[in-house]
Amino acid sequence: MPVDKVVQSFAQAVEDVPNGAVIMMDGFGGAGGMPQQLILALRDQGARELTIISNTGGLVGFGVIAGQPSVTHGILIESGQVKRVIASFPVSRSPSQPNPFELAYNRGEVDVEVVPQGTLAERIRAGGAGIAAFYTLTGVGTDAAEAKETRTIDGRDYLMEYALTADYAFIRASKADHRGNLVYRGTSRNFNQLMAAAARLTIAEVDEIVEPGRLDPEAVITPGVYVNRLVKR
Amino acid sequence: MNKPRLDREVIAMRVANELADGDYVNLGIGMPTLVSQFVPEGRTVIYHSESGVLNYGPLEAEGKADVDLINAGGQFLLPVPGMAFFNAAEAFAMIRGGYIDVSVLGAFQVSERGDLANWMLRDRGTGNIGGAMDLAAGAKRMIVAMEHTDTQGGPKIVRQCSFPLTGRGCVSLIVTDVAVIEVTPSGLLLKEVAPGWTAEDVQEITEPTLRIDAGLREIAL
């Protein structure tokens, strides 16, 4: 991996994404944590049969300031590039206002695995940390327990959940240095920090890239070891 | 039952009464979000959101929206002193780890044993679990805030949930537009009724048999 991770364009950053890739993206679902330029570049690049691991299925207007344009991975679903979504909040709150994911799901074009949000976060964390699986109390006695190993530990029932990894993670951070150390802003850290570690190739979309030494090491949330490519907005 | 029911703000006000000074509280999307407006003076409640923030302020005033400061419903928040940010795994470690004193959620159905169904309407084919299953498993106390009956007038408090479950035996208190009901090991205990409502009126639109609290009273705000 080159020491300097800066790539000159979003198109260049996503050019090697193959058909069938598994990609993590989306922060929490709002405009703040969404790698919007990477998503646009991937739509233009055209890779298909993608699996998207994200908190949402691409919500319309969620965490978006009125009147400001906002892109989600919903555009990849609309362009027919996605075959499967793993998410905790795939559809809109109201069935009467379906998002692009739900429309595609109802047409039978895209498959979904709905995962409790904390389990999704922990599966991604585990994937980045070399933990193959873990036991959680979330989902015991519900449909989420279907076909899963359960174990009673100290008198309480737990479900076994497997780690999640991906081929790529598209990350949205606030600031980076050239070595790939990342700083986030507010609630936009969310899944981004976890996903950065859980993919074989992590691409970060940032507002500002500074020289090493200009980020406070105490403030770095994602150390550069997890990051392969950086693109400035 | 055509007697007047409480509106969403009053339900939220009644729920807010349950929050104690110093509680760490997670408010679900929809009606539960309103609760923060009605916490009685003199009590400081610290809010937790799955979006990765602890001790957030009120919803943003017009024109101050920041896309990097949202709650789990995607609403914009105002910063307050003492706020902390963290990633999603940590947000849920706090929930499963037992650090959240009170969770307030909406529901499609609650059973007489305190089972909660709130993530999927069967005919939709899929739904949003979000953080609800983790809160059902990990919050110290869960309060459900909801209308007492569904849009067709059918009971939402049922013997057994027919919708997919969010959690089993996780609900402690149900606050509706006509009643306050506690979930106890020996079934549902009717503690408060809306003005003009009797215990019989509430029972008529509730599937399981309610026990009537000796101190049954009008909903106190």
Using CB atoms, pick whichever of A140, A143, A190 lies closest to residue B137: A140
Distance between CA atoms of residues A25 and A113, nearest Å: 16
Q: Report DSSP state, residue B208.
A: S
Ramachandran angles phi, psi of B92, nearest 5°: -90, -20
| Residues belonging to chain B | 221
**Closest-CA residue of chain B to A68:** B67
Q: Does B89 contact A124 at a Cβ distance shorter than 8 Å? A: yes
B1 found inside a domain: no
SS3 of residue A15 by DSSP: coil
Q: What is the 3-state secondary structure (H, E, C) of A47-87?
A: CCCEEEECCECCCCCCCCCCCCCCCCCHHHHHCCCEEEEEE
Dihedral of CA atoms B200, B205, B208, B209 in degrees, nearest 10, equals: 0
Containing domain of residue A193, as a range? 10-134+163-232
Asked if A172 and A35 touch (Cβ cutoff 8 Å), the reply is: yes
The whole-number pLDDT of residue A82 equals: 98
A42 found inside a domain: yes
ipTM comes to: 0.97
Q: For residues A187-200, give the mean pLDDT.
A: 98
Give the pLDDT confidence of B25-83 residue by residue, as tens digits: 999 998 999 999 999 999 999 999 999 999 998 888 778 899 999 999 999 999 999 99
CB-based burial of residue B203 (10 Å sphere; 0-12 exposed, 13-18 middle, 19+ buried)? Answer: middle
Using CB atoms, pick whichever of A91, A95, A121 lies closest to residue B92: A121
The number of distinct structural domains making up chain A is 1
Of B9, B18, B41, B50, which is the active-site residue?
Answer: B50
Distances from the Cα of B24 to the Cα of A80, A178, A180, B44, B54, angstroms: 43, 39, 35, 10, 9
A78 found inside a domain: yes
**Residue A63 tokens, joined:** 């965490």
B3 found inside a domain: no
The one-letter amino acid at B183:
V
Give the pLDDT confidence of A131-152 residue by residue, as tens digits: 999 999 999 999 999 999 999 9
| Share above pLDDT 90 across residues of chain B, in percent, rounded to a whole number | 92
> Does any CB of chain A come closer than 8 Å to the CB of residue B88?
yes
Spatial CA neighbour of A124 closest among A224, A22, A220, A221: A22
Give me the helices (H) in B101-189, please. 132-138
The number of distinct structural domains making up chain B is 1
CATH code of the domain covering residue B18: 3.40.1080.10
Give the pLDDT confidence of A18-72 residue by residue, as tens digits: 999 999 998 899 999 999 999 999 999 999 999 999 999 999 999 999 989 899 9
B173 found inside a domain: yes
Asked if B220 and B17 touch (Cβ cutoff 8 Å), the reply is: yes
Interfacial B residues in 97-126 facing A (CB < 8 Å): 121, 124-126
Among this protein's residues, is B50 annotated catalytic?
yes
Residues of A in contact with B93 (CB under 8 A): 118, 122
A25 found inside a domain: yes
Residues of B in contact with A191 (CB under 8 A): 87-88
CATH code of the domain covering residue A167: 3.40.1080.10
A145 found inside a domain: no
SS3 of residue B172 by DSSP: coil
Distance between CA atoms of residues B31 and B56, nearest Å: 18
The secondary element (H helix, E strand) that includes residue B179 is: strand B179-184
Q: Does B87 contact A32 at a Cβ distance shorter than 8 Å? A: no
Spatial CA neighbour of A33 closest among A58, A7, A12: A58
To test the contact with chain A by mutation, choose from B68, B90, B103, B115 the residue with the greatest count of A C-beta atoms within 10 A, namely: B68
| Share above pLDDT 70 across residues of chain A, in percent, rounded to a whole number | 100
Containing domain of residue B195, as a range? 8-218
Distance between CA atoms of residues B80 and B162, nearest Å: 42
Residues of B in contact with A193 (CB under 8 A): 87
The whole-number pLDDT of residue B56 equals: 92
B2 found inside a domain: no
Chains A, B: CB contacts within 8 A come to 161
Q: Does A116 contact B133 at a Cβ distance shorter than 8 Å? A: yes
A147 found inside a domain: no
Give the pLDDT confidence of B116-125 residue by residue, as tens digits: 999 998 889 8
The whole-number pLDDT of residue A119 equals: 98
Q: For residues A183-187, give the mean pLDDT.
A: 98
The whole-number pLDDT of residue A58 equals: 97
- Would you place residue B130 in the very low, low, confident or very high pLDDT band (cuts 50, 70, 90)? very high
Distance between CA atoms of residues A124 and A165, nearest Å: 6
A21 found inside a domain: yes
Strands A229-232 and B211-218, by their bridges, are unpaired
> Is pLDDT of B216 > 90?
yes
The chain-wide mean pLDDT, for chain B, equals 96
Give me the helices (H) in B8-75, please. 8-16
Helix and strand totals (H; E) in chain A: 6, 13
The whole-number pLDDT of residue A1 equals: 74
Give the pLDDT confidence of B181-192 residue by residue, as tens digits: 999 999 999 999
The secondary element (H helix, E strand) that includes residue B182 is: strand B179-184
Residues of B in contact with A28 (CB under 8 A): 50-52, 70, 72, 88
